[in-house]
């Protein structure tokens, strides 16, 4: 609390990367006061003159995590699972929901009678049984009464608060009548760079109980679960009957360090798509169990379960149940039992592991791939779920420490609450069914997910253009995507299939190439090279990337003037015609990246040509499209347009050229994505591709025209992502009129991925308040009551574009890293006098911090994981012209000097986890 | 307001039918004060000593209708439709939802892009388009954004309040920025006794607009609708595509008094189950229209519609659209246009009529009936929907006046708000898909409805035992049910198929008979005879009723001692064994009714035997089952039980006798239904079948033990109808312990039908506060946020058992009517000094009122509809021993005297609609 307060008092908004404008945060001056409640929303004028519809305090407020209560618990579904494992979600009330562990999405479906119930007995009192969940919330709809298969009919706690600090969720349950206080921490291990540790098919639940009464209390915690082996992962389930069930076996297993339920089925051969197992174990040794609830008509089974548990908190069955009859499975219960003396606390850990090694390609219609079986990476690493549980239990301390270290590092940073929330909550996308990790750690991903299927398949280049989190957290997986892009998806003419068919190598997706996606891939290859320093990787992929880049000269920029005029299919699922800066800046960025990569592999002639085309395009785009504050599209005459034939009809595609006219363009509009390529070039460290002044003015215009303070009067015939009093950035507007009769098909929508892209870009260009306002608007829409904070939707849930939120962190920190040059620099855009930020490189991660105080600036790198080798280190103070420099590693001095606005070390500094590099620059 | 206040000040709770205990309603004394806000909930002790968890003011508050706002709009779906026509519901926000006009339930489904949008233009300002609905409410769930096919993306009003006064719904829309005030009244004609007028397949919408600005305003109101002919009534619909669509034709028709859209299809022959038509018409002459929206890719169609409307509020297409291509239909729009001078008001009436004459028996599996086509009564009366619309428009004034007269008569009564709400809201069940009206005005009904099918079929005798509203509002339809019971469903041995297969006459449902249902039918036959005075009807059915009654002597009461001991299948879907008062009182009531009916047809010997068995049973039941405050069940030894073989397995049925033990009984429990037969005997005018003191004490016990003040600590493994802080009456409890391990399968549930039965019975026995508390608890659970006030659910939506609520009205009024005896009496149980109540007889309806003031009592009958012939008239004052009597009809004196606690008229008084009978008794 006091720490946070201290930081609050020092919080500043930085206007531009050089000029520090001190704007004290409102309320920060009252030293020693209680943390102020969020002030009544107000607005202020940003240094750049924008209207910001929040108070400064609201924008700059810091909080280590987001806390929810009451109605805001309703939509929460916090995903628990690793990379490519699927997830089960923890609901805001503490319940389990959305069982998506069966290799596909499954929104809204739960395993019947799978819940945790507390049993408590105080001396001389009747025992009580309570489901460890907050109360149910209206509406209580249902033609036959409210749903009962989540044990809704049993007593529950009176309330709860949910704290979401991805990858950790905490629930504090409240019930004044109970002698014990109960809390839950749930997570799945997530350690940046460590793919194995971050891709375990397990959900870990730690229930903490404290006896707050004056008497000893006998307690039990019964975790009941359906043995769901044979479930197809998306059909409705009721009770314990399903066509796929049968020969289910549930066994109570007791080992030295774990005891639990081993849930299997004898019905399926190992190569069956439904083959799999689950394990529910605890590390608590004293456990009673029931491998199968008694059968019976009506509600007999559940009633008998309740009566048995209520009586004395134990179950008197052990051993094994099953194999079950065809179409039937068992419910089972695992019930750790213990006592607490007054004031005593105990933690009970459950590990719920699953193992469904095979998935089927159900999403493509191409006969070469449809129905093919694909093996999950975890399926190759583990024999069954019990082995997963055993591994996770044995490594629990290490895994949790690594995960906590990561979260702590994130929280140590100076990110305002909404940014921390946007960055950390949306990392979860990597670990939902949007993504898969196949054998050999090959990473594939949908754009997002429909309720019970992925949508749309796979590795869509233009959607994944926006993503930055995977590249920075798990760069080896990001590189596997580049290998797929360039080694699998390039056609002989250099055009790229912008969706991937798996298994790869059998067929390519047949559709016209996407100009934005294809150019983006070149930029992203540059990023992967810069983050990894892997020259072999670059040399392997470069010849293909070169073909992809130069494909532009066939169709899009046939006159090689650096401006795309041809038919440009893009992320709006339509084609743009004529020059526009959205494709244009991606093309320019790709040319710049191409120049650098060509030079790195010794292709100087190619590098020079890319530079020539770049220079031509940069000048021409700006000259032709800049129009009073932002860039427009020049839509050609319909007769001049050449429409590429589509080899494969897609249901979502409609030609933009219709009966001799061109629709679905933006023309004179102010497009939020108009500087997409500029943003990406900035993120990957390529700098400006258009004149900096125009870039900044354009971003101001986008904020002014496209950021809506409410949606009451925004007629939208398209899809709906913002409503009523919500705020958000629309994809396009026409402030000067001339809106086309039918503009591009998503123009009136609000996409979080684009909001993050624009917000980060605003921050990069010093328009910090604007960027924070856009970010806060997004997260306010995902408030737990309106929508799930851990599921930003666009064309599907857990939509990959939202992974752009990572660039908010890199923008605020002014982070830039080049592994080939062993250079790491920061240029904080808030609170330079006391700034900190999490950072990653290809080989390590940690916390950067800097302080500026009375003529002295100092900075430090705390490497928390991995290793890092540096020749240059830059931060806020290194823009100075000189000064006395003191550099140390773990206190031992290093020889260093100021050069090109960085600290240049005489010898490369090698840091390993736990090392601290410090640099101090004093005034001359 | 002031009227209501006056009545409030006079409100009294009457303890017992004779003793008037003056308990002034809290807050009533402050004359001239503003209507008090509902006081903070409190509790008080009833005259009988019960704890009532409300304040007296809350219980006795009167209100003409129930008003909803904010979150309480969310679950509202107010059904608009006639008897046997299906419904479309008006949502709380003013939207149309749950399109159930296609001969089956269809919860949660709407016709895409079917909505009403206002266009308004003030001089010198840009026109605005607003959907005439309140704002959308969270959550805004959806993997591809929030739903858009209800035009959710267009601007809406800022708020609304919804007033539900079934059959009228009113919505007052709020938007301070608009120059006009907009309100909506929606209804379907409902006039008691008038079946034809109450079974029109139409929904009537009257939008009232007032210009509250200082300038003239140009206005249009566009009602858009999908032509859905060919829809199967329960599949998901998106856009205008569905397999059943094709050859759809939408035509703009203009006639002298109506103009509108005629929605048809040429795809189906008249005998096809999908054949049908719809019509959307207005009585406003100045109308523009578009019979088909333009087609297009993406959202082009809706965008173009919006642009056309937004431009100047008109559509420039007329004539006809279609026939459409296979699998496709049209959206069409009807847009009345008008102007309002400052201060001016106008009402625009839309009539939405439908005509789907055939329905298919999809619900039975018996081959004799499955798939058979059934013709709706309205299908035989009207050629098509246009004819329905024309008829409704031509008769609109008459139909609305009759309906308003009915509603007004209900509101004139002294019913406390919760009772008026319970009585009037649940009448709607008769006019939902729970019920059907087939050719020849034969009435059939499910118990209720699942989301897309009826559940369960049909005329279930034991569920419909509780129903009283149809019997009193549409007695001819109730008689058609008795004809089905006795003429179609009786087997040779006298047992009754307690469900009906339609078409009738082909096969009987094969399952063991229901003891409660079968006895109830005898009581109900007595009721129909008493209400109608139709002796021919009695003589036709009596021989069958006699067989049904005496069937009891074969199995249930083989020793003819007046107590059922045998296997008693019943409304809990299981069998009771051994004596119990639930079946026992129904049996006693049936014997009493049998005695009276036998005597009426001259069968004195039978009458005497029924009386003998009755007297034996009455004494024995009381002696054997009365146990310290209520009646218990005597469960026999399992070895003594004879289980009747089930000829047909039903998925919902499980034998109560299981491995040598009997489960699913209640034994020592306090059963809420234990006096079910006593309640029914009281309602139909047969008086007490058990000792009055024990009846009253039992009811007190039921209230004390089974009425829960909250459900926080009520473990329930069964179905859920009450949760958290809600109040409700459970079906059973075991206050003295001895709860069976597996009691009957619904014992822990809360059913509104039983709550109403018990509440009315409490009131009949003078436990008025208790009865009102139970009633208020029900209606508080259906508050618009938790559940839909117009859909009380049990085993299905719109569950028929809730029609028991009508008996609250008869109980409070102490209403009793015998057509054969031409006797109508009242014994008000609240506010006898100023009481009024709606009443019906078989031939008329109106308002009864009574006043008691300083030694003078007076009463009046205002007949508002039909005719009534009376020889005796009783009310609160007629229990006096004598006095000066003055009787008049429309002011003309009549000769009358006091006799047997009624006013006996020398000559039968014949009243017709509009007549007023007045009687005054002065002290001697």
Neighbour-count burial for B488-527, b at 16+ CB within 10 Å, e otherwise: bbbeeebbbbbbbbbbbeeebbebbbbbbbbbbbbbbbbb
Predicted confidence band of residue A41 (pLDDT cuts 50, 70, 90):
low
Residue B600: cis peptide before it, omega within 30 degrees of 0: no
CB contact under 8 A, A787 and B154: no
DSSP H helical ranges for B447-534 = 469-473, 475-483, 515-532
pLDDT for A33: 33
The set of residues, in sequence order, having a beta carbon less than 8 Å from that of B495 and lying 6+ positions away, is: B512, B513, B518, B548, B551, B554
Does B155 contact A712 at a Cβ distance shorter than 8 Å?
Answer: yes
With beta carbons under 8 A apart, name residues in chain B contacting A149: none
Sign, CA dihedral B480-B428-B133-B220, equals: positive
Q: Which residue among B138, B749, B794 sits closest to A786, beta carbon to beta carbon?
A: B138
Residue A152, chain B, CB below 8 Å: the answer is yes
Nearest CA in chain B to A747: B299
> Is the pLDDT assigned to residue A881 strictly greater than 80?
no
User: In whole angstroms, what is the distance from residue B830 CA to residue B838 CA?
Assistant: 14
Q: Decide if A57 contacts A40 (C-beta within 8 A).
A: no
Answer for the pair A838, A501: CB distance below 8 angstroms, yes or no. Answer: no
Say if the ipTM goes beyond 0.90.
yes
C-alpha A708/C-alpha A863 separation (Å) is 41
Tokens 């597996």 locate to B742
**Cβ–Cβ < 8 Å for B845, B192:** yes
Cβ of B716 within 8 Å of Cβ of A745? The answer is no
Cross-chain residue pair B143–A303, CB shorter than 8 Å: no
- Option in B144, B717, B742 nearest A793 (CB): B144
CB–CB contact B723 A310 (8 Å): no
Q: What residues contact residue B326 under an 8 Å CB cut-off, 6+ apart?
A: B245, B246, B247
Residue B147 with chain A: CB contacts under 8 Å: 720
Taking chain B (924 residues) in runs of 10, the rounded mean pLDDT of each run is 33 30 29 39 91 96 96 98 98 98 97 98 97 98 96 97 98 97 98 98 98 98 98 95 97 97 98 98 97 95 98 92 96 98 98 98 97 98 98 98 98 97 98 98 98 97 98 98 98 97 97 97 98 98 98 96 97 97 98 98 98 98 97 95 82 85 97 98 98 98 98 97 98 98 97 98 98 98 98 98 98 98 97 96 97 91 98 86 90 94 95 97 78
Could you say which residues from 412 to 441 on chain A have a Cβ atom under 8 Å away from some Cβ of chain B?
A: none
Assign B387 to helix, strand or coil: helix
Q: Is the pLDDT assigned to residue A25 strictly greater than 90?
A: no
Distance from the first to the final alpha carbon of chain B: 38
CA dihedral sign of residues B501, B505, B507, B512: positive
Average pLDDT over residues A662-666: 97
Mean per-residue pLDDT, A656-674: 94
Are B793 and B448 a contacting pair, CB within 8 Å?
A: yes
Residue A11, pLDDT above cutoff 80: no
Residues of A in contact with B712 (CB under 8 A): 155, 158
pLDDT at residue B316 in the model: 86
Could you give the CA distance from residue B466 to residue B461 in angstroms, rounded to a whole number? 9
Contact A173, A163 (CB under 8 A): no
Q: Judging by beta carbons within 10 Å of its beta carbon (0-12, 13-18, 19+), is residue B712 exposed, middle or buried?
A: middle
Tokens 């979401």 correspond to A164
Q: Scan residues 156-175 of B and list those with Cβ closer than 8 Å to A.
A: 158
- At B685 the three-state DSSP class reads coil
Nearest-CA distance B604 → chain A (Å):
47
For an interface test with A, give the residue of B105, B109, B297 to mutate (most A CBs within 10 A): B297
Q: Could you report the per-residue pLDDT of A274-294, keeping only the tens digit for each?
A: 999 999 999 999 999 999 999
Instruction: Please compute, for residue A142, the number of CA atoms within 13 A of its CA located in the half-sphere on the CB side.
Output: 15
- Residue B547: in which H helix or E strand, if any? helix B535-550
Give the sheet arrangement for strand B287-290, strand by strand: B128-131, B115-121, B217-226, B331-340, B287-290
Burial state string for A821-839 with b = 16 or more CB within 10 A and e = fewer than 16: ebbbbbbbbbbbbbbbbbb
Closest Cβ opposite residue A717 in set B75, B299, B455: B299
Percent of chain A with pLDDT over 70: 95
Give the tokens for residue A405.
């270290």
Say if A712 is an interface residue toward chain B (CB within 8 Å).
Answer: yes
With beta carbons under 8 A apart, name residues in chain B contacting A787.
138-141
What's chain A's length in residues? Answer: 924
Which residues on B lie below 8 Å from A297 (Cβ)?
A: 654, 658
Asked whether A468 and A807 are in contact (CB, 8 A), the reply is yes
B731 Cα to chain A: minimum distance (Å): 15
Assess whether the previous peptide bond of A139 is cis (omega < 30° from 0).
yes
User: Are A299 and A110 a contacting pair, CB within 8 Å?
Assistant: no
Total length of chain B: 924
Q: How far apart are the first and last CA of chain A?
A: 37
Beta bridge partners of A487: none
Distance CA B368, CA B271 (A): 19
* pLDDT at site A16: 30
Q: In A761-828, which ranges are E strands?
A: 816-818, 823-825
> What is the Cα–Cα distance from B271 to B266, expressed in whole angstroms?
13
Average pLDDT along chain A: 94
**pTM above the 0.80 mark?**
yes
Q: State whether residue B140 sits within 8 Å of chain A by CB.
A: yes
Mapping DSSP to helix (H, G, I), strand (E, B) and coil, where does residue A137 land? coil
Query: 293-322 in B: which are within 8 Å (CB) of A?
Result: 296-300, 302-304, 306-307, 310
* Residue B739 in contact with partner chain A when CB distance is under 8 A: no
- Residue contact A742–B153, C-beta within 8 A: no
CA–CA distance, B782 with B785 (Å, rounded to integer) = 8
Smallest CA–CA distance, residue A653 to chain B, in Å, is 9
The number of C-alpha atoms within 13 Å of A171 and in the hemisphere containing its C-beta is 29
Res. A645 pLDDT band, cuts 50 70 90: confident
What's the pLDDT score for residue B40? Answer: 55
pLDDT digits (tens, 9 = 90+) for A88-143: 999 999 999 999 999 999 999 999 999 999 999 999 999 999 999 999 999 999 99
* Shortest CA distance from A303: residue in chain B: B717
Distance separating alpha carbons of residues A205 and A226, to the nearest angstrom: 17
Angstrom distances, CA of residue A28 to CA of A7, A772, B39, B212: 9, 19, 43, 48
Provide, rounded to the nearest whole percent, the portion of chain A with pLDDT above 90.
Answer: 91
CA dist., res. A916 & res. A852, Å (int): 18
- Contact of A236 with chain B, judged by CB distance below 8 Å, is answered with no
- pLDDT tens-place string over residues A604-643: 999 999 999 999 999 999 999 999 999 999 999 999 898 9
- Band of pLDDT at residue A10, cut at 50, 70 and 90: very low
Q: What H or E segment, with its residue span, contains residue A302?
A: helix A300-312
Q: Please tell me the distance from the alpha carbon of residue B851 to that of residue B847, in angstroms, as a whole number.
A: 13
CA distances from B294 to A510, B128, B221 (A): 31, 22, 19
Which of A218, A150, A157 is closest to A183 using CA atoms?
A: A157
């Amino acid at each position: 609390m006091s720490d946070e307060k201290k930081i609050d008092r020092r919080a500043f908004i930085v206007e531009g990367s050089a000029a520090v404008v001190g704007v004290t945060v409102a309320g920060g001056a009252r030293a020693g006061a209680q943390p102020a409640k969020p002030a009544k929303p107000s607005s202020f004028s940003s240094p750049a003159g924008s209207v910001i519809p929040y108070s400064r305090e609201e924008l700059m407020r810091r909080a280590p995590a987001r806390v929810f209560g009451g109605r805001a618990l309703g939509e929460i579904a916090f995903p628990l699972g690793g990379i490519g494992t699927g997830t089960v979600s923890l609901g805001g009330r503490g319940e389990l929901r959305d069982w998506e562990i069966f290799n596909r999405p499954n929104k809204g479906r739960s395993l019947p009678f799978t819940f945790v119930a507390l049993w408590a007995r105080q001396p001389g009192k009747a025992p009580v049984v309570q489901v460890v969940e907050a109360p149910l919330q209206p509406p209580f709809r249902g033609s036959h009464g409210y749903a009962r298969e989540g044990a809704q009919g049993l007593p529950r706690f009176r309330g709860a608060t949910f704290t979401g600090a991805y990858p950790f969720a905490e629930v504090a349950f409240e019930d004044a009548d109970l002698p014990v206080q109960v809390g839950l921490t749930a997570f799945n291990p997530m350690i940046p760079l460590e793919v194995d540790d971050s891709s375990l098919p397990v959900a870990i639940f730690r229930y903490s109980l404290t006896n707050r009464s004056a008497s000893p209390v006998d307690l039990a915690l019964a975790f009941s679960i359906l043995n769901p082996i044979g479930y197809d992962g998306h059909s409705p389930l009721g009770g314990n009957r399903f066509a796929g069930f049968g020969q289910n076996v549930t066994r109570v297993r007791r080992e030295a360090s774990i005891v639990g339920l081993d849930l299997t089925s004898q019905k399926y051969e190992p190569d069956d798509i439904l083959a799999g197992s689950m394990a529910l174990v605890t590390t608590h040794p004293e456990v009673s169990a029931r491998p199968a609830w008694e059968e019976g008509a009506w509600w007999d089974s559940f009633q008998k379960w309740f009566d048995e548990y209520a009586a004395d908190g134990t179950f008197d069955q052990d051993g094994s149940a099953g194999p079950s009859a065809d179409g039937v499975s068992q419910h089972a219960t695992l019930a750790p039992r213990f006592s607490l003396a007054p004031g005593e606390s105990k933690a009970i850990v459950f590990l719920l592991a699953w193992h469904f090694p095979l998935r089927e390609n159900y999403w493509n219609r191409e006969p070469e791939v449809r129905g093919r079986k694909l093996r999950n990476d975890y399926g190759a690493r583990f024999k069954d779920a019990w082995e997963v549980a055993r591994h996770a239990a044995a490594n629990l301390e290490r895994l949790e420490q690594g995960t906590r270290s990561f979260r702590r590092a994130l929280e140590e940073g100076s990110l305002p609450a909404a940014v921390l929330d946007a960055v950390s909550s949306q990392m979860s996308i990597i670990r939902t069914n949007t993504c898969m990790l196949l054998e050999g750690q090959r990473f594939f991903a949908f754009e997002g997910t429909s309720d019970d299927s992925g949508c749309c398949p796979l590795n869509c280049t233009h959607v994944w253009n926006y993503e930055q989190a995977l590249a920075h957290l798990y760069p080896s997986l990001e590189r596997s995507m580049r290998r797929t892009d360039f080694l699998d998806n390039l056609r002989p003419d250099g055009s790229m299939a912008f969706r991937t068919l798996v298994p790869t190598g059998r067929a390519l997706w047949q559709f016209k190439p996407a100009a934005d996606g294809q150019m983006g891939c070149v930029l992203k290859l540059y990023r992967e090279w810069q983050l990894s320093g892997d020259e072999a990787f670059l040399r392997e992929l470069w010849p293909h990337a070169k073909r992809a880049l130069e494909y532009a000269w066939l169709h899009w920029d046939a006159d090689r003037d650096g401006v795309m005029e041809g038919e440009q299919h893009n992320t709006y699922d339509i084609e743009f015609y004529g020059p526009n800066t959205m494709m244009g800046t991606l093309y320019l960025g790709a040319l710049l990246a191409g120049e650098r990569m060509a030079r790195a592999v010794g292709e100087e002639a190619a590098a020079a040509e890319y530079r020539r085309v770049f220079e031509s395009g940069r000048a021409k785009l700006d000259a032709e499209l800049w129009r009073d504050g932002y860039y427009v599209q020049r839509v050609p005459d319909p007769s001049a347009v050449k429409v590429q034939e589509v080899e494969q009809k897609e249901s979502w595609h409609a030609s933009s050229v219709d009966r001799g006219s061109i629709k679905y363009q933006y023309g004179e509009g102010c497009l939020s994505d108009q500087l997409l390529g500029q943003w990406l070039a900035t993120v990957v460290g390529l700098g400006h591709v258009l004149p900096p002044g125009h870039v900044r003015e354009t971003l101001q215009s986008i904020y002014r025209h496209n950021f809506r303070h409410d949606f009451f009067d925004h007629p939208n015939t398209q899809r709906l992502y913002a409503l009523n009093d919500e705020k958000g950035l629309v994809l396009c507007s026409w402030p000067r009129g001339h809106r086309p009769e039918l503009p591009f098909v998503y123009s009136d929508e609000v996409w979080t991925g684009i909001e993050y892209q624009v917000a980060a870009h605003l921050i990069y260009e010093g328009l910090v308040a604007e960027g924070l306002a856009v970010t806060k608007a997004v997260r306010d829409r995902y408030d737990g009551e309106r929508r799930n904070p851990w599921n930003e939707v666009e064309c599907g849930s857990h939509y990959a574009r939202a992974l752009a939120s990572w660039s908010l962190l890199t923008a605020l920190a002014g982070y830039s890293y080049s592994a080939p040059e062993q250079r790491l620099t920061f240029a904080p855009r808030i609170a330079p006098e006391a700034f900190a930020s999490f950072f990653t490189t290809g080989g390590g991660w940690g916390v950067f911090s800097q302080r500026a105080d009375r003529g002295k600036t100092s900075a430090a790198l705390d490497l928390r994981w991995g290793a890092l080798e540096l020749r240059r280190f830059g931060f806020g103070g290194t823009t100075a012209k000189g000064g006395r420099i003191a550099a140390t590693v773990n206190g031992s001095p290093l020889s260093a000097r100021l050069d090109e606005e960085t600290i240049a070390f005489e010898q490369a500094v090698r840091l390993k986890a736990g090392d601290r590099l410090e640099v101090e620059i004093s005034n001359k």
